[in-house]
Amino acid sequence: MGQVVTIGLDLAKSVFQVHGVDAAGGVVVRRQIRRSQLVAFFAKQPACLVGMEACASSHYWARELMALGHQVKLMPAQYVKPYVKRGKNDAADAEAICEAVTRPTMRFVAIKTPEQQSAMMLHRVRLVLCRQRTQLTNAMRAHLAEFGIVAPIGRLGMERLLGVIESTEDRRVPNDARTCLKMLAAQLTVVKEQILENDRRVIADARRTELGRRLMGIPGVGPVLASALVAAVADPAIFRSGRDLAAWIGLVPRQNSSGGKERLGSISKAGHRYLRQMLVVGAMAVVRQAARSAERRPWLTQLLTRRRPKVAAVALANKTARTIWAIMTSGERYREPLAA
């Protein structure tokens, strides 16, 4: 039995599965390990290649094992699935990870630092808070509509309904219903304050790094998107080109090509949903501006004559993603293209 050179680690909450092979591919170790025993197990192993599926806790364990001298590589779970021979259990998953990590064409995920994970958590919490704000406003609108009280959509309409809830002189709302609605209004006030505090932290995070300040110079990239890009794209060098970054985000056409015939459809919707959403929203702002000043962006103006605004926004988001990769890898600032 030889020395372990490659280990496939199937992560879990309490019980982990380890599959290790030697240089010839022979199985050396195949066992379950409790969470409290994992670090001690790898501390006894010689420096080797450790493969794991990218998940919520994979970045933490990658940093822990790298501190012990191991080489750690993270892989998307959908790329590991084809290497599972048959059935679904932890041992089969660990064996598939061990085999997939040695493939020369495998695509890996960059390991994030605690600071990058913290920055990305700001954006996830922001999404949760915005979702709660929408739920609360929809609930109050629906409850007041039961008593025939409606208002226009938007912030001004919601403020009008909040005034009805606070007014004790309005007899259209019964006392019990008003008490319940005041509870929702109090929660809405707290959520709004938390959203404002979260936005201040996101803007400060984008301005704190030199890369974030350079990214904010790109049209359609604001502080929120710049902060998310710095946090999500841990290492831009893992992408060979700007198109690879755009494909990772999910801004390239879906292909169904065969026999030398290329068939391209709409965007695949795979990849990083949050970054794709923010890029398209920023591109829509640029599209609206281009409609008013056609001299600055002739390429976009000509595209708008052939395609709908939202289709043009997706194309511009793809182009913006490629520009982002170029700025990240070159260290330069954005320069407005000159008219031909």
Percent with pLDDT over 90 in the chain: 76
Name the token pair of 125. Answer: 């919490």
Residue 268, pLDDT score: 76
Q: How far apart are CA 261 and CA 229, in angstroms?
A: 35
Residue 27, pLDDT score: 92
Whether 286 and 219 have beta carbons less than 8 Å apart is answered as yes
List C-alpha distances in Å: 238 to 104, 165, 247, 253, 326: 14, 54, 13, 21, 13
Residue 340, pLDDT score: 57
Quote the crossing angle between the two packed helices 242-249 and 309-330, to the nearest 10°.
Answer: 130
Q: How far apart are CA 276 and CA 225, in angstroms?
A: 10
Contacts of 219 (CB under 8 A, 6+ apart): 282, 286, 320, 334
Neighbours of 311 (CB within 10 A): 13
Residue 18, pLDDT score: 96
Contacts of 260 (CB under 8 A, 6+ apart): none
Name the token pair of 235. Answer: 């290492």
Residue ranges for the chain with pLDDT beneath 50: none
Residue 318, pLDDT score: 93
Whether 248 and 318 have beta carbons less than 8 Å apart is answered as no
Could you report the per-residue pLDDT of 94-126, keeping only the tens digit for each?
999 999 999 999 999 999 999 999 999 999 999
Could you report the per-residue pLDDT of 76-87, keeping only the tens digit for each?
999 999 999 888
